[in-house]
Amino acid sequence: MSTDTMREYLAETYRLAYYQQGDAYVSTSALAEVMRVSAPAVTRMVQRLREHGYLEHEPYRGVILTPEGEREALRTIRKHRIVERFLVDVMKFGWHEVHDYADDFGASVSDKLAEKMNEMAGFPRRCPHGEPIPRPDGTMPRVVDEPLHEVPVGREYVVSRANTHDSHMLRYLDSLGLRPGTTLHLVDHAPFNGPLRVRVGDSEHFIGHDLSHVLRVCTREQFDLV
């Protein structure tokens, strides 16, 4: 039986691998960075997870989840993101504050309670920040999107994800109406890493360099994860 810390390591390993291009291995340095721990601490936990059959470690390549480790990671991620949606949609917390609450609260939520929360939240496909929620069968929908600063101007897009947990950024994006599922029109992009001008409904806003890297966009069909 894995502990809460072990589950967190497995979930972060899965998240890192999910968005990598063509490499299922996750470096221990990347894992140390996202977990905010030292390299020796990661080494100890990797050994522990390996002993439990949750991952394999290959020197100079990193770690890769076993099928059992992936199942455990997806259960943890699903529960975390359902709790986030419940906190936002049902309990009316701000999307800028629920990530840490879900970390604290989610570990004690049973599978049965999580599914009831999922029902009360309307069976969402994404968390409040746009990340996909693993399906009940243990599969993860594939997200297809691009950073806002890399897409062509003059087109309409849907906000796919806000790739940050920075509360100040999330508050500001919320004030502009730029949340996952929102349609925007990319009007202009100034050269040399200049600001982007976007239209949301009848309002226009300028998006700076940092925010344009955080916001990821896609088509409506891609957002719906059909």
For 54-101, what is each residue's pLDDT tens digit?
999 998 899 999 999 999 999 999 999 999 999 999 999 999 999 988
Domain residues for the domain of 174 are 146-223
Residue 88 within any structural domain of the chain: yes
Give the whole-angstrom CA distance, residue 32 versus residue 20.
17
Residue 27 within any structural domain of the chain: yes
| Per-residue tokens: 122 | 């309307």
What CATH number does residue 217 fall under? 2.30.30.90
Residue 70 within any structural domain of the chain: no
What CATH number does residue 89 fall under? 1.10.60.10
For 1-35, what is each residue's pLDDT tens digit?
468 899 999 999 999 999 887 788 999 999 999 99
Mean pLDDT of the chain: 93
Give the number of other Cβ atoms within 10 Å of residue 83's Cβ.
Answer: 27
What pLDDT score does 74 carry? 95
Give the whole-angstrom CA distance, residue 78 versus residue 106.
10
Q: What predicted TM-score, i.e. pTM, was given to this entire model?
A: 0.90
Q: At 13, which amino acid appears?
A: T
Q: Closest by alpha carbon to 207, among 165, 150, 130?
A: 150
Query: What's the rounded mean pLDDT across residues 153-169?
Result: 95
Domain boundary among 113, 141, 169: 141
Phi, then psi, of 98 in degrees rounded to 5: -90, -15
Query: At a CB cut-off of 8 Å and minimum separation 6, what does 33 contact?
Result: none
Domain boundary among 141, 161, 196: 141
